[in-house]
Amino acid sequence: MKKTTFISLFIFAHIFFIVLQIHKHSQIIKESYRKQKNEQLKNELIQKKELLTHQLYTLKNRSTIQEFATEQLAMKPINLKQIKKITANE
């Protein structure tokens, strides 16, 4: 009787360890997919940051600002004759 109990306990322990190995392997695969997804998101955000930085530098460019002012806002260059000096009376 003791021999059959030991054999059944031995088989049960091996089956339990096999199930644990399968569970561990599935967790590793799940974490690997999550890591891959996060790295892809990180790369997309880095590209978006670079694009926005490039747009910022383009918008800060003096010629771009001047072009926007003349075309969109209908502004014209100012002449020196149009400038008036204002004195403060204190």
Per cent of the chain over pLDDT 90 is: 58
At 3, the pLDDT band (50, 70, 90 cuts) reads confident
Rounded average pLDDT over 17-43: 98
Mean pLDDT of 14-40: 97
pLDDT band at 20 (very low <50, low <70, confident <90, very high): very high
For the chain, the first-to-last Cα distance in angstroms comes to 114
pTM summary value = 0.58
Place of tokens 């910022």: 56
Dihedral-angle region of residue 52 (phi above 0 means left; psi in -120 to 50 means alpha; beta otherwise): alpha
